[in-house]
Amino acid sequence: MIAHLLRYTFLLVLLPSVGHLQAAPAADKPPNILFILVDDLGYHDLGYTGSRFYETPHIDKLAHEGMVFTQAYAASPICSPSRAAIMTGKYPARLNLTDYIPGNRHYGPHPDQKLASHPFKLFLDPEETTLAEAFKSNGYATFFAGKWHLGEKEMHYPENHGFDINKGGNHTGHPAGGYFSPYNNPQLPDGPEGEYLTDRLTDETITFIAQKREQPFFAFLSYYTVHLPLQGKPEKVEKYRKKRNTLQYKGEEYEQRDETYIKKQQDNPYYAAMVESLDENIGRLMQALSQSGLDRNTLVIFTSDNGGMATSNIMDQIPTSNAPLRTGKGYLHEGGLGVPLIFRWPGKIKPDSKSKEPVTGTDLFPTLLEMADLALLPEQHSDGISLKPLLEGKSMAERPLFWYFPHYSGGLGGRPAAAIREGDYKLIHNFECNSSELYQIKRDREESADLAEKLLKKSARLNKKLQNWLGKMGVKLPYPNPSYQPEKK
């Protein structure tokens, strides 16, 4: 612990002198890009989005300093496909990478699952041009730290997808050795015993951005947190245990549907401790940018790969609640797809600004290119549009958003489905029963009132548009599970 504190002190002392050498007028240089991706962070897990249990003053400050998107969506309710969509600008359906790698199909269809899904790619195709490759080809120094989870073999790791440096990115979807060193991560040497992984990944990123260089940087900090296992710093866990005892919650802590429990309130002290450590490190990153003189010429993006994990068939393993949003990770409801999204660039993006436009993960690729004044690659980021007009306070034409998740989400309880969001309405088509749900999201973000039977024409029109999109993507739909054994009553 002492060695780790000394390391922090060294970094903070180093930054001002290095920054003095780097500082230059923003207009003279292309912008740096700092992309911060959090794993499994729900939309309501932050102070600025309404949490009263988790404490996130630094992320809230970041939100106030830029533009927040109140209806931002992940491209998938599960990590690997969502991350692939960010990296490529393409829908997971188009990539045929639709589940986490290796996915539940790795074990074969379960007898209690009515449908089975076709094989999907177990890696990010090297034929795709990634965000990192796009920036690297334009002279950027590229850096990756944290969770990758886009291929099981080293040939598919970040360094083979355009990143000059890779600190900790490999095939794992969660910290193999947990959040305290030793990490059991071949791509990240162990730190002092007890070092916290979220701190370490921030250290590595600060070291990279503080280096003296002539070229701009593209840094992708992909935290493993707040994914399971639930491991927070002991003093923070104790803090939130005490806080939980002071709060008065109304209603039941869980709702049960079949074998699945849905958490209805935010009260887990371990998860809260993890969120606070995340927040502290966002503060450290912003301080590093400021002290190095880079903050006014650095575009910062903060988001999550999917909604918070709010369901499970094991009650004690549910870390958070997305309420009032419905369900969570592994579902096409708002709780599974809704994510926080912040853009900050002093002097370029108006502080305390908001956008209510529905946007999704595939939009980030063209947005970053255009914000950096680089040529777009429309054949690559074919399923995204640049959000630059919104970031400049302008409007954009309405367009539909689509999702395809043809899998069961294991112990989370989600089932195969596809969805479309167009205007104020969202339709979810469930493959098991070949039926649809329709919600007016503008008035009913909680998705509590299914309008499918009441608005038959709208439901039919959206379903037709969704089916046409699935055909255009060339997907292979789920098929009857030959091993299915319906429960006998």
Amino acid at 160: N
Structural domain includes residue 90: yes
Q: How far apart are CA 262 and CA 98, in angstroms?
A: 24
Q: How far apart are CA 306 and CA 83, in angstroms?
A: 9
Whether 17 shows a pLDDT value over 80: the answer reads: no
Amino acid at 372: A
Whether 22 shows a pLDDT value over 60: the answer reads: no
Structural domain includes residue 449: no
Q: How far apart are CA 147 and CA 355, in angstroms?
A: 29
User: Stretch 22-50: mean pLDDT, rounded?
Assistant: 85
pLDDT digits (tens, 9 = 90+) for 182-204: 999 999 999 999 999 999 999 99
Amino acid 402: pLDDT: 99
User: Stretch 61-77: mean pLDDT, rounded?
Assistant: 98
Structural domain includes residue 468: no
- 84/20: higher pLDDT: 84
Percentage of the residues of the chain whose pLDDT score is greater than 90? 89
Amino acid 104: pLDDT: 76
Please, are residues 362 and 316 in contact by the beta-carbon 8 Å criterion? no
Nearest Cα neighbor of 188 from 168, 172, 174, 159 is 168
pLDDT band, very low/low/confident/very high, at 29 (cuts 50, 70, 90): confident
User: Stretch 178-183: mean pLDDT, rounded?
Assistant: 98
Amino acid 248: pLDDT: 86
Window from 24-28, 111-115, 147-151, 289-293 with minimum mean pLDDT = 24-28
Token match 């080809």: residue? 137
- 29/96: higher pLDDT: 96
* Residue count of the chain: 489
Structural domain includes residue 425: no
pLDDT digits (tens, 9 = 90+) for 342-396: 999 999 999 999 999 999 999 999 999 999 999 999 999 999 999 999 999 999 9
User: Stretch 13-18: mean pLDDT, rounded?
Assistant: 39
User: Stretch 112-134: mean pLDDT, rounded?
Assistant: 96
Calculate the CA dihedral of residues 126, 224, 409, 156 and round it to 10 degrees: 20
Q: How far from each other are the two terminal CA atoms of the chain, in whole angstroms?
A: 57
Structural domain includes residue 474: no
- Half-sphere exposure for 162 (CA within 13 Å, toward CB): 24
Token match 């980030």: residue? 364
Amino acid 81: pLDDT: 98
Structural domain includes residue 408: no
Calculate the CA dihedral of residues 93, 97, 100, 101 and round it to 10 degrees: 170
pLDDT band, very low/low/confident/very high, at 105 (cuts 50, 70, 90): low
User: Stretch 421-426: mean pLDDT, rounded?
Assistant: 98
Structural domain includes residue 143: yes
Q: Cα 349–352–357 angle (5° rounding)? A: 75
- Looking at the 3D structure of the chain, how many domains does it have? 1
Whether 18 shows a pLDDT value over 70: the answer reads: no
Q: Tokens at residue 176, please?
A: 């193999």
Rg (CA), the chain: 22
- Per residue, the 3-state secondary structure of 93-112, as one string, reads HHHCCCCCCCCHHHHCCCCC
Run of H or E residues at 468: helix 456-473
- 367/22: higher pLDDT: 367
Amino acid 148: pLDDT: 98
Structural domain includes residue 294: yes
Token match 């992940």: residue? 74
User: Stretch 101-107: mean pLDDT, rounded?
Assistant: 75
Whether 16 shows a pLDDT value over 90: the answer reads: no
Separation in Å, CA 126 to CA 118, 122, 221, 266, 370: 21, 12, 21, 40, 23
Percentage of the residues of the chain whose pLDDT score is greater than 70? 93
pLDDT band, very low/low/confident/very high, at 28 (cuts 50, 70, 90): low
Amino acid 131: pLDDT: 98
Q: Tokens at residue 31, please?
A: 């912008």
User: Stretch 155-173: mean pLDDT, rounded?
Assistant: 98
- E-assigned strand segments in 238-393: 254-257, 260-263, 298-304, 311-312, 341-344, 353-355, 359-360
Nearest Cα neighbor of 33 from 210, 216, 161 is 216
Q: How far apart are CA 458 and CA 465, in angstroms?
A: 11
Window from 118-127, 189-198, 242-251, 368-377 with minimum mean pLDDT = 242-251
Sign of the alpha-carbon dihedral angle for 304, 308, 314, 315? positive
Q: How far apart are CA 264 and CA 44, in angstroms?
A: 12
Domain of 8 in residue numbering reads as 2-23+31-395
- SS3 state of residue 143: strand
Q: How far apart are CA 128 and CA 288, in angstroms?
A: 33
Q: How far apart are CA 259 and CA 188, in angstroms?
A: 38
Mean per-residue pLDDT of the chain: 93
Calculate the CA dihedral of residues 254, 249, 326, 95 and round it to 10 degrees: -90
Please, are residues 146 and 224 in contact by the beta-carbon 8 Å criterion? yes
- SS3 state of residue 162: coil
Window from 41-55, 97-111, 256-270, 285-299 with minimum mean pLDDT = 97-111
Please, are residues 302 and 341 in contact by the beta-carbon 8 Å criterion? yes
Which positions ≥6 away from 243 have C-beta within 8 Å?
53, 269, 272
Amino acid 24: pLDDT: 38
pLDDT band, very low/low/confident/very high, at 7 (cuts 50, 70, 90): very low
- CB atoms near residue 431 (< 10 Å): 18
Report the CATH number at residue 354: 3.40.720.10
Amino acid 109: pLDDT: 73
